[in-house]
Amino acid sequence: MDLHSGQIQGFLDSPSDNLYAMPVLVRDLKETHGGRNTVIVSPDVGGVVRARAYAKRLDAPIAIVDKRRERAGVSEVMNIVGDVKGADCVLVDDICDSAGTLCNAAQALMDAGAASVSANVTHGVFSGPAMERISKSVLTEVVATDTIRPSDAVLATEKVRIVTVAPLLAEAMNRIAHETSVSSLFE
């Protein structure tokens, strides 16, 4: 689900489908952010396609965090591209590992005038200092799917909420078994 690099499919010996958590996360956003002044934000240039896809489904504008990565695991926010003043910003990403990027981006968005910042991620790795960073950050909430079983520390953190992709996976398996379209799940 939400392969970090699409080329991974080329290394598999059997046919595979790259499934997307977006339908689950967009439904959750509609339920929690419906009617609010929401801006979808890509935490880096590499996530712009994902942010546009979310924004299209939510009929919301997008913004981009322009960051510079000096070395692996260390990033510095340079600019915010787009208008976030007074908006409820939602960072969308495929993976949250140590939470450094999300927390830095959230602070930069608040410094740029955002009303609030939350995040939606497919894979909540939440390694090392992630829970401490999230707890101390300006993020109001991080929503992650259950593609990775959350640890007790993750479940105990008030700022993290887990949503399930089980029905989406079940529907994809059903469609494969009945030889019907899997891609139409994501249109």
HSE-up of residue 117 (Cα within 13 Å, Cβ side): 26
Least confident of 16-30, 63-77, 115-129: 63-77
18-186: CATH, from 3.40.50.2020, 3.40.50.280, 3.10.20.30, 3.30.360.10: 3.40.50.2020
Q: Within the chain, how many helices (H) and strands (E) appear?
A: 6, 7
Query: Angle at CA 123, nearest 5°, toward 119 and 128?
Result: 85
pLDDT of residue 5: 59
Per-residue pLDDT band at 4 (split at 50, 70, 90): low
Q: What is the pTM of this model?
A: 0.90
pLDDT of residue 122: 97
Per-residue pLDDT band at 69 (split at 50, 70, 90): low
Domain ranges of the chain: 18-186
For the chain, what is the mean pLDDT? 91
Inform me whether the pLDDT recorded for 15 exceeds 80.
no
67 catalytically annotated: yes
pLDDT per residue over 134-177, tens digit each? Answer: 999 999 999 999 999 999 999 999 999 999 999 999 999 999 99
Nearest Cα neighbor of 98 from 64, 68, 137, 67 is 137
Q: Round to whole Å and give the CA distance between 86 and 112.
A: 9
Identified catalytic residue from 67, 85, 136, 159:
67
